[in-house]
Amino acid sequence: MKEMIQEIEAKMARKERVEKFSIDLDYLTAGERRHLYELMYAHGPGNGKMMFLPIDQGLEHGPRDFFPNPASADLEFELALAEEANYSGIVCHVGLAEKHFRKYAGRVPLVLKINGKTSIAPDDAPFSPLDASVEDALRLGADAIGYTLYVGSPREADDILQFTKLRQECRRYGIPLILWAYPRGPYVETRGHGRDSLAMVDYAARMANELGATMTKINLPVPPKGGSYDEKGPFKAYNAYQDLSEEEALHMVVQSAGRAGVLISGGSKMGDEDLIRKVRLSLEAGVDGLIFGRNMWQRKYEDALKISHEIREMIQKL
C-alpha cells in the first residue's frame, strides 16, 4: 500500500498523468471494450488516441454554422471526410444518422448524440432533453453515445438524473458513454468566473469521472489571472494557480478526469496555425483525443482533408 502511494506522489511530482484512460481498464465490460477497439485502434490514428468529427451543431446552433461552407450542410460531406481522412468516428443526432449512415456502416464509426437543445430560448437555465435512446444507438450500429450535461445550471439536478438513467442503460448494453461536460448558466458566470475558467472546466472533468462517463468532452481551460476568484467564494483555492501555463492548466484538468478519457473540443473555427498549436498543446498535456467539428467542415473539402491528415500524423508520432 505504501509503495502505491509513493508511486502516485512520484508521478505527480514528475507532472505525469496519475490515472490513464485505457481499453484495458478492469471496469469495462466486453461490449464496451469491443466498441472502444473500433474507436481507438480499428479506426483513427490507431494508437489508442482518437479524433472525432462532430456534426451535432445543426441542432444547437441552427443552419448558421454551415454558411461559411454551404456543402457542409449535407452530412455526406462530413461522412466522406471522415472516411477518407480515417477519423475515429463521426458524431451526429438520430435524424441525420437514420437518413445518411446506412451506407457508411462499418466504414465510419458512429457516436450517436442523444440529447440536445436549440439556441433560441434564453440560456439562463440550460437543459438538453433526450431526443433518442440507447436502442436507437444500437439499431444504428453506434460505437458510443454522446450526452451533454450542463454543469452548474439551475437545472443541474434534472440533468444528473437523466444522465444517471442513461448511464445505467449504457452499462447494461455494453456501449461507451461520452459526456459533453459543459459549465453553463448564471452561477457559472458569477461564481465560477466563466464557462471556460480553470475552476469550471476542472470541476466538469471531475464530475464526468464521478458520474461514470467513459470519456468526457471539455474545452481548454483558461488559467486565472490576478486573483480572479472571490476570496470568500467556493473557488478561491484556484487563485493559487494564476501563474499556470495553458498546458499546465489542461494537465491539471486531465488529472481531475481520472480514468475517464479526455477529448478536447475544437470550438469555433480558427486559422491553421492556431489549430495546430491547440492540437500540440492538448497532446502534450496528455489528452486521449480531439473532437473538432467546425474547424474541419467549415473548410473546403480539400483543405479539411489536408489538415485532418496533418493532425492524424501528429497523433501517430506520439
Which DSSP category does 29 fall into?
-
Query: What's 222's DSSP letter?
Result: B
Residues annotated catalytic, as ranges = 182, 217
Question: What are the residue ranges of helices labelled H in the chain?
Answer: 2-13, 30-37, 57-61, 75-84, 94-100, 134-139, 156-173, 186-190, 198-211, 246-257, 272-284, 294-297, 301-316
DSSP 38: I
Q: Can you tell me the distance from the alpha carbon of 93 to that of 132, in angstroms, rounded to the nearest whole number?
A: 8
In angstroms, the CA 69 to CA 152 distance is 34
Helix (H, G, I), strand (E, B) or coil at 27: coil
Q: What is the DSSP string of 70-131?
A: GGGGSHHHHHHHHHHTT-SEEEE-HHHHHHH-GGGTTTS-EEEE-B---SSS-SSS----B-
Which helix (H) or strand (E) is 239 found in, with range? none
Cα–Cα distance, 223 to 137 (Å, whole number): 37
Q: Report the SS3 class of residue 308.
A: helix
In DSSP terms, 52 is beta-bridged to 89, 291
Handedness of CA 120, 125, 126, 127 (dihedral sign): negative
